[in-house]
Amino acid sequence: MKKKIDNLRSKNGFLLAEETLKIIIAVICILFLAYLLFSLYSSRRSSIKIQQAEGSLLELLGAIQDGNDKVIINNPTDWFIHSWPKSYSKKLFNWVTLKWESIEQTNVIPLTCETMGWESCLCICKKETHDSCESDGICLSLVDGFKIKNSIEITPPSIELLINQTSKLIQKRG
């Protein structure tokens, strides 16, 4: 009798381990599928933002070439419009002195613009750095010496940019 009970326990224990293994494999498969779907969604969304940025850049460059004094930019929201080259300071933490230090970077230009041989370019990028323009952004050649002094964030629903044709300066209204 005792032997029968021991056999039942070991069989039930074995089935429990087998079922647990199936559940673990199922959870791993579900997590992998969720990751795959999220990656596809993110890729598609990023692609749409790049297309919007290119359309906005073409609209801005068209307004400059046509001699317009203003243009309205709608998309992509929460991205930034930059003109390059420009100088800016970058804050880095020095682990030796345990202090924040500013490092001046002058005449910085995204690699995309540099490899195309452009002296200056206009970009719409996800963040405010030239690194962001290389990975998450789009740039086009900028002629006639137009500049944007500080990066301009594209805020919803739209922003109006003023184009001063004499001083060659592009700035946000307001």
| Secondary structure class of 101 (helix, strand, coil) | strand
Residue 22 included in any domain:
no
Query: Are β-strands 70-73 and 121-125 bridged in parallel, bridged antiparallel, or unpaired?
Result: unpaired
In a domain, 7, yes or no: no
Measured CA to CA, the distance from residue 134 to residue 34 in angstroms comes to 29
3-state helix, strand, coil in the chain (%, to 5): 45, 30, 25
In a domain, 15, yes or no: no
The residues pairing with 141 across neighbouring beta strands, listed in sequence order, are 121
Say if 130 falls within a structural domain. Answer: yes
Q: List the structure tokens of 126.
A: 């996800």
Q: What is the pTM of this model?
A: 0.65
On whether residue 69 sits in a domain, the answer given is yes
Per-residue pLDDT, 30: 92
Where residue 144 falls (left for φ over 0; alpha for ψ -120 to 50; beta otherwise) is: left
Number of domains present in the structure of the chain: 1
pLDDT, residue 13, reads 55
Q: What's the confidence (pLDDT) of residue 8? A: 46
Determine, yes or no, domain membership for 124. Answer: yes
Domain assignment present for 40: no
pLDDT mean for each 10 residues of the chain (174 residues): 51 69 91 87 76 90 89 88 73 78 73 86 85 83 83 89 89 84
Which residue range is the domain that position 99 belongs to? 48-172
Residue 107 belongs to some domain of the structure: yes
